[in-house]
Amino acid sequence: MSATPDLLRAAGVKVTPGRVRVLAALLAAAQPLSHADLEAQLPDADRVTLYRVLDSLVACGLALKAVDARGVFRFSASATQREHGGHVHFRCTDCGGVFCLKTSPPPPPKLPRGFRLGAVEMDVHGTCAQCARRTP
């Protein structure tokens, strides 16, 4: 957590206890976290302040915001997001979890003349191992 204030300063935002705690939680997370996940981890955090902190971390480039298959916004530290290029994500349709798969996506399709490729993302949907164990 000691490097967290340095990351905030380098991003040009004010170092506050809330930003330090939320960024530390995102950096420590194994997968993207929802607002509810963060509320559970930081029970004394004010709900509205947590939204504002997340928005400020996204705005300064320290966090990324993505919507999962259920329409829930999930947040990840941008340092971990840099590793998200060049592989496939598995999205659990039961719990909404997002998991990185250690496999390369297929090559991008050939585009018509005049088109420019911006990004290629591939998601695989199904049931994660934890949810599958709960289902008979």
CA 17 from chain centre, in angstroms, equals: 21
Residues in the chain: 136
Distance CA 26, CA 41 (A): 11
User: Could you read off the pLDDT of 35-58 as tens digits, one per residue?
Assistant: 999 999 999 989 999 999 999 998
User: Could you read off the pLDDT of 1-37 as tens digits, one per residue?
Assistant: 468 899 899 888 999 999 999 999 999 988 889 999 9
Q: Where in the sequence of the chain do the CATH 3.30.1490 domains occur?
A: 85-134
**pLDDT mean across residues, the chain:** 84
CATH number of 85-134: 3.30.1490
**Right CATH number for 3-81 from 1.25.40.10, 3.20.20.70, 1.10.10.10, 3.90.226.10?**
1.10.10.10
User: Could you read off the pLDDT of 52-97 as tens digits, one per residue?
Assistant: 999 999 888 888 887 776 788 888 887 544 455 667 888 787 777 7
Per-residue pLDDT, 84: 52
Residues 6+ positions from 133 with CB-CB distance below 8 Å? none
Distance CA 54, CA 52 (A): 5
Q: Where in the sequence of the chain do the CATH 1.10.10.10 domains occur?
A: 3-81
Q: Are 45 and 35 in contact (CB under 8 A)?
A: no
The radius of gyration of the chain from alpha carbons, rounded to an integer in Å, stands at 17
* Percent above pLDDT 90 for the chain: 32
